[in-house]
A = this chain, B = another copy of it.
Amino acid sequence: MTNQIRTRPDKVKARQLEQNRNLFGRLSAAALASRVQAQRMLKSAGELSITEWRVLWDLAEAGPLTVTEMAAIQHTDHALISRAIPMMVRKGYATTSVSQTDRRQSLIELTDQGRDVFNQTSVVMSARRAALSRTFSEDDVDTFIKLIDRFEAFVEAPLPENPTAEAAP
């Protein structure tokens, strides 16, 4: 009895230690924590959602863009962007217009007010990136990005490549 009471917390700690080297879990936790940090910073700087910030940033840097283009830039689903646009238009941050060359596309463009909000929010968000690059040297980033490249290739492969071991007789 006493034995069980004393060993259970140890089991928890052991399990935690074990999971500390689980890349899937660690990467997920880190990304989620990063998202929370971004959400908090955006909240403190104004009233932008994460998607709204990403859209503003893309539009500010790369002129008028379509929904699909932004989805491609952000490696995300077009639904996310599609749903963010109406509110941004209502807030007066962006305008939409049907593309002349392809009437399926809608071109999203920053308004002056949208640019103001971007500039303002950018203070906080680029400070964040600056702080990160004080923590990670160019070489660190390089190493990190390469590892992420490989990890991404792995998780985007249809199925983990099977070892031929089991196929062998």
Q: Which residues of A come within 8 Å of B, CB atoms?
A: 5, 8, 11-12, 14-16, 18-38, 41, 58, 61-65, 69, 72-76, 101, 127-132, 134-136, 140-141, 143-145, 147-148, 150-152, 154-156, 159-163
List, in ascending order, chain B residues with CB within 8 A of A147's CB. Answer: 136, 140, 143-144, 147
**With A34-B155, A63-B8 as given contacts, are A27 and B148 in contact (CB-CB < 8 Å)?**
yes
Expressed in whole angstroms, the Cα–Cα distance for A156 and B30 within the complex equals: 9
A interface SS class: helix
Q: How far is the CA of A70 from the CA of B69 in the complex (A)?
A: 40
Q: A8-B63, A8-B64, A140-B147 are in contact. List 18 more A-B contacts (CB 8 A).
A: A21-B145, A23-B136, A23-B144, A26-B148, A27-B30, A28-B35, A29-B76, A30-B148, A33-B152, A33-B155, A127-B162, A131-B161, A131-B162, A131-B163, A132-B154, A135-B154, A136-B147, A136-B151
Residue of B with least CB distance to A135: B154
Measured between beta carbons, the chain B residues less than 8 angstroms from A31 are 27-28, 30-32
Q: A27-B148, A61-B15, A131-B160 are in contact. Are A21 and B155 (CB under 8 A)?
A: no
List the B side residues contacting A132 at CB < 8 Å.
23-24, 154, 160
A138 CA / B111 CA spacing, docked (Å): 51
Closest CB of chain B to A11's CB: distance in Å? 5
Residues in B neighbouring A140, C-beta threshold 8 A: 147
Cα distance A25–B125 when bound, in Å?
13
Shortest Cβ distance from residue A132 to the other chain B in the assembled complex, whole angstroms:
6
Q: Find chain B residues with CB under 8 A from A144 CB.
A: 23, 147, 151
Contacts of A30 in B (CB 8 A): 27, 31, 148, 151-152, 155
